[in-house]
Amino acid sequence: MARKNSSVLILGGGAWGLSTALHMINSGYHDITVVERAEQIPSQYSAAWDLNKIVRAEYEDPFYTELALDAIEGWKTPLFGPYYHQTGYVVAATGRAPPKAIHHLEKALSSISSHPTFAPEIRQLNGPEDFKNHTWQYTGPLTGFKGYFNRIAGYAHSADALRGIWEHCANKGVKFILGESAGKVVELLYGDETSDAGNAAFASSSTGSGPQAGQGQGRCIGAKTADGRDHLADLTICALGAHGASLIPSLGNFVVARCWSVAHVQLTEAESDYLRGIPTTNVRDLGFFFEPDPKTRLFKLCPLGTGYTNTGKDGISLPPGEVLPPPQDYIPLEDEQKLRQLLRETFPWMAERAFVEQKLCWFADTADSEYCIDFVPGTKQSLVVLSGDSGHGFKMMPSFGKWVLDLLGNKEQRLSRWQWRNTDSRGKDWSTSVSWRIGTPREVGDLVKAKSMMIKARL
């Protein structure tokens, strides 16, 4: 087991970095520093920087069903509970859904319908009337809708959860270094691979868990921030979400930064009250939405699709930086159309309203949707990478840090599915093979061009 007095540097104060800090401090580590480029948490660069995320346990793979079930128990504790809303979860496909969407829905349902915890909590919805009987606020035609309601699910207020766990960790003694200068990591620092420089706590084992050593650059001894300061540590944990490959380029061989659209409708107080308590609703061929946020009265929607990448000349996709600014308050037309269709089917009174706070939200995607929680090969277990959330990592926030402790305790990643991968899938487009994604993948650069053409056409 790694020593509890080791200095630990966590890069990134998003969902997984904070969960790791929480579990580490609770387990007795006491020298933990989180370095985060945003001025405050939640960070605008985090995939979880918005109102809410779905919390549900339906998975095609029972392994994740059990993990999500455990995480849901975590969401019900006093620490996480204020951010969890068990509104239930409606999953549907329209009468026009392609077979892939229907197949995914059926597989997700079968993953929980025979599960002892979920079985009594599921209600099949076999047509528009069933949906309306269940949720009286659905007033649209719900054309050909079929699906089910699962009571043990809902959503978590993601921005509030990040803020709450940040404050909790800071109160417990985790140090935070924040801001574009002091907190933005620009480089990982490596010592001489052959020397025993630094604390040997993490160097004692030679059983590298990655399939092949030598990919790192020797022992990682910390990180440099934009203000030029070196932060030395016995163990460095890289939890940069979609930005991971900016510091560990070989991660970009199998992890792709991909983004999805997010949009909101600004509701009045009365409208927000009217929709209070609606289930989180996921229409597999269109998109999903949540109960409105009572504070801001924003109603959040996300279209479902294959997302967009930003691939550089080296074949690695990273979120756009200063060179290619992401389009502001904009989502692609095809996504807007899907969301308007989703509203026409469910809440037609909202269907033509302006979308506000539109954005593209970046996450770290892998071909098999498996996470990567492992030591970076060739770094003598001095560098851990947490990546590959694949768009389903927020719900795991209450539990996630436990799995990092398991890695440190076992000195290797025993679950092959979460190991570092030596595959190089750059240039290969696997996004459409992911069972629940429908559509044609595109590059974000094309969206920027389309947006500027649209603006020029209007002038």
Q: Out of 2, 8, 13, 237, point to the residue binding ligand FAD (CB under 6 A).
A: 13
Sequential DSSP letters for 319-380 = ---SSSPPPTT---HHHHHHHHHHHHHH-GGGTTSPPEEEEEEEEEE-TT---EEEEPTTST
Interacting residues of 295 by C-beta distance below 8 A, sequence separation 6+ = none
Q: What's the min distance (Å) between Cβ of 41 and ligand FAD? A: 7
Query: Are residues 261 and 360 in contact, defined by beta-carbon separation less than 8 angstroms?
Result: yes
Q: Which of 17/378 has CB closer to ligand FAD? A: 17
Q: Determine if the peptide bond prior to 441 is cis (ω within 30°).
A: no
User: Is 380 near ligand FAD (CB under 6 A)?
Assistant: no
Structure tokens at 115: 């599960």
What's the gap between Cα 64 and its chain centre? 15
Query: Are residues 103 and 111 in contact, defined by beta-carbon separation less than 8 angstroms?
Result: no
Structure tokens at 76: 């019900």
User: Is 85 near ligand FAD (CB under 6 A)?
Assistant: no
Within residues 390-419, the interface with ligand FAD by CB under 6 A covers 391-395
What are the CA-CA distances from residue 253 to residues 249, 364, 390, 397 (Å)? Answer: 8, 12, 15, 26
Q: Which stretch binds ligand FAD (CB under 6 A): 145-153, 163-171, 178-186, 326-334?
A: 178-186
- The C-alpha atoms of residue 12 and residue 394 are separated, in whole angstroms, by 14
User: Is 260 near ligand FAD (CB under 6 A)?
Assistant: yes
Q: Out of 35, 67, 189, 221, point to the residue binding ligand FAD (CB under 6 A).
A: 35
Question: What's the number of CA atoms in the CB half-sphere (13 Å) around residue 129?
Answer: 0
User: Is 45 near ligand FAD (CB under 6 A)?
Assistant: yes
Q: What's the min distance (Å) between Cβ of 289 and ligand FAD? A: 11
- The C-alpha atoms of residue 87 and residue 151 are separated, in whole angstroms, by 7
Which residue's Cβ has the minimum distance to ligand FAD? Answer: 14
Q: Out of 154, 222, 241, 327, point to the residue binding ligand FAD (CB under 6 A).
A: 241
Q: Which stretch binds ligand FAD (CB under 6 A): 77-85, 146-154, 241-249, 327-335?
A: 241-249
Q: Which stretch binds ligand FAD (CB under 6 A): 21-29, 124-132, 180-188, 266-274?
A: 180-188
Q: Which stretch binds ligand FAD (CB under 6 A): 48-56, 116-124, 132-140, 423-431?
A: 48-56
Q: Which stretch binds ligand FAD (CB under 6 A): 100-108, 197-205, 239-247, 248-256?
A: 239-247
What is the β-pairing status of strands 235-238 and 8-11? parallel
- Per rule CB under 6 A, count of chain residues that contact ligand FAD: 38
User: Is 147 near ligand FAD (CB under 6 A)?
Assistant: no
User: Is 309 near ligand FAD (CB under 6 A)?
Assistant: no
Q: What's the min distance (Å) between Cβ of 261 and ligand FAD? A: 7
Burial of 416 (0-12, 13-18, 19+ CB in 10 A): exposed
Within residues 287-306, the interface with ligand FAD by CB under 6 A covers 302
Q: Residue with structure tokens 């420089």?
A: 197
Q: What's the min distance (Å) between Cβ of 89 and ligand FAD? A: 10
- Residues in touch with ligand FAD (CB under 6 A): 11-17, 35-38, 43, 45-48, 53-54, 183-185, 239-243, 260, 262, 302, 361, 363, 386, 389, 391-395
